[in-house]
Structure 1
Amino acid sequence: MPRLFTGLEIPPDVRMQLSMLRGGLRSARWIDPENFHITLRFIGDIDDRTADEVAAMLDTVRRTEVPVRLSGLGAFGSRKPHSIWARVEPSPALLDLQAEQERLLQRIGLPAEGRKFTPHVTIARVKGTSAREVANWLSLRGDFQAPTFIASRFVLFSSRASQGGGPYVVEEDYPLLQVAA
């Protein structure tokens, strides 16, 4: 039974910039740079037949390339932080791509995603790290900026059931239409 999600890949130069943020935080489990991504829609553990339906439905998406800009850092879990992430600016193209995937996956019977879409790249898991330590770490690095890049495809990733952080495998890729110059 595969565990699936859709997402955007992070180009090597931006992965390198994100990886330079590693360190300085007790108990942090840093995500390997090759596993950095922007999750568009978590699908979860599904059977092979449903996975085939998901892949076929995603093949109907016809959207243009998505400009992606990472700007700032944050943490999920205010009193008990559990993840540190780089913020992805929520452009209309990104929000529309995510919303279309949500609609299509519900159409084949998958339950709606229970959480509001917050575009981000998880860079560390911080279970056991205090809110004060995370706040101090963020205050020193919170002005993080990366150059805008163009996502020319989205992918269907699989992962093994784990604590998170990969490894992730690209099962299918779906090109996005080039924007006319």
Structure 2
Amino acid sequence: MPRLFTALEIPREIAGPLAMLRGGIPGARWIDPEFYHVTLRFIGDVDYAVARDVAAALDEVERFGFEIGIDGVDQFGNHKPRAIFAAVKPNSALIELQAEQERLMKRVGLPPEGRNYKPHITLARLRNTPPRQVADYLSLRGYFRSPNFEVPRFVLFSSRDSVGGGPYTLEASYPLM
């Protein structure tokens, strides 16, 4: 049973500088740069028939390519930090692509995503990390910005059952016009 999600890939020229942000938080599990991505829609564990339906539905997407950029580094979890992430500047093309995928997944029969969409690139997963250490890290690295970069396609990834962070297998790619 595959665990699927759709995503935007991060080019090497952006992943390299992001990788330089690694370190400085004891106990953090840093994501390997080759696995950096912006999740569009987490699909989850599905049987192979649903996986085929998902792939076919995604083939219907006809959108133009667009640009995105990184606008800071932050954390999820507030008083109990769970992850460090690079925030992606949302724009209408990104939000519309994500919303279309949400509609397509509902049509396939999947339940709606329960959380509001916040485009980001997970850099590290945290477990029992003191909030003060995260605050110190963010005070030094939180202002990271990247130039905008082109998004020529989105992809369907599968992953093994784990705590996240890869490895991911590219199942299909969908070019944007």
TM-score (norm 2): 0.99
SS class of match (1:73): strand
1:28 and 2:28 matched: yes
Q: Match of 2:81?
A: 81
Q: Match of 2:110?
A: 110
Amino acid at match of 1:134: V
Deviation at 1:128, TM superposition (A): 1.7
Structure 1 stretches (4+) deviating beyond 6 angstroms?
none
> Residues 38-49 of structure 1: matches in 2 within 5 Å?
38-49=38-49
Amino acid at match of 2:83: S
How far apart are the structure 2 equivalents of 1:52 and 1:116? Answer: 26
1:170 and 2:170 matched: yes
SS class of match (1:147): coil
Q: Match of 2:59?
A: 59
61-70 or 46-55, larger mean C-alpha shift: 61-70
Amino acid at match of 2:171: E
**Cα deviations across residues 38-75 of structure 1 (Å, max 9, x unaligned)?**
00000000000000000000000001102111010110
SS class of match (1:41): strand
Amino acid at match of 1:150: E
Q: Match of 2:70?
A: 70
> Residues 134-145 of structure 1: matches in 2 within 5 Å?
134-145=134-145
SS class of match (2:81): coil
Deviation at 1:145, TM superposition (A): 0.7
Deviation at 1:113, TM superposition (A): 0.3
Amino acid at match of 1:155: V
How far apart are the structure 2 equivalents of 1:63 and 1:27? Answer: 41
Q: Match of 1:3?
A: 3
Listed as ranges, the gaps of 5+ residues in structure 2 are none
Aligned residues: 177
SS class of match (1:145): coil
Amino acid at match of 2:128: G
TM-score (norm 1): 0.97
Amino acid at match of 2:131: A
1:131 and 2:131 matched: yes
SS class of match (1:136): helix
SS class of match (2:16): helix
Listed as ranges, the gaps of 5+ residues in structure 1 are none
SS class of match (1:55): helix
**Cα deviations across residues 112-148 of structure 1 (Å, max 9, x unaligned)?**
0011000000000111211111011001111101111
Amino acid at match of 1:88: V
1:18 and 2:18 matched: yes
